[in-house]
Structure 1
């Protein structure tokens, strides 16, 4: 997968979820990356997030001064809704959809 063009990047301000304005960030756990680059999401986090075997997650990154500074995981089913929401005004302007 190639790098996205600047115009294709969804900024943090454009990303929306159904958590609402009063939601907060929480450090759920500290993960260790093994020699193969793998990590384990704790069972309680998977259960609360509704993540089951076979689910697909999108890895989202934020970059600052040429280095990735933040990472987030999101179920792809939620990501597609956000992308549609961001692209919908553009598609409506062109008459496509």
Structure 2
């Protein structure tokens, strides 16, 4: 289950989270994709929500894409970098 707003952690870092193919999307001639309504509802994606497209690159080519809510990405960054930045800021 994804972490709810205000809970510590993100769904992307939970040990009990899982990954699966939810749906296939097509890219139209204008480069646009449509996320199916049932998936948007399941993911809690609504009008005006911001999504981050994260990519992995291998041998100079993008090999994997992940689409995630921007707020989840922000929480993930805080979770991972917070302790590092906190340590840097506390140094004399």
Above 0.5 in TM-score? Answer: yes
In 2, the alpha carbon distance for the partners of 1:24 and 1:85 equals 19
Q: 1:40 and 1:89, CA in 2 relative to 1: closer, same or farther beyond 3 A? A: same
Other-structure match for 1:36: 30
Structure 1 runs, 4 residues or longer, greater than 6 Å off:
none
Structure 1 segments unaligned to the other structure (5+ residues): 1-15
In 1, the alpha carbon distance for the partners of 2:28 and 2:11 equals 33
Structure 2 segments unaligned to the other structure (5+ residues): 1-8
Q: 1:91 and 1:57, CA in 2 relative to 1: closer, same or farther beyond 3 A? A: same
- Work out which of the residue numbers 34, 48, 52 in structure 1 matches 2:46: 52
What is the RMSD computed on CA atoms of the aligned residues? 1.7
Deviations 1:55-81 (A, max 9, x none): 000000011111000101110111111
> TM-score, normalized by length of structure 2?
0.78
Q: Please state how far the C-alpha of 1:44 moved relative to its aligned partner.
A: 0.7
In 2, the alpha carbon distance for the partners of 1:18 and 1:38 equals 26
> TM-score, normalized by length of structure 1?
0.74
Other-structure match for 1:17: 10
In 2, the alpha carbon distance for the partners of 1:24 and 1:82 equals 16
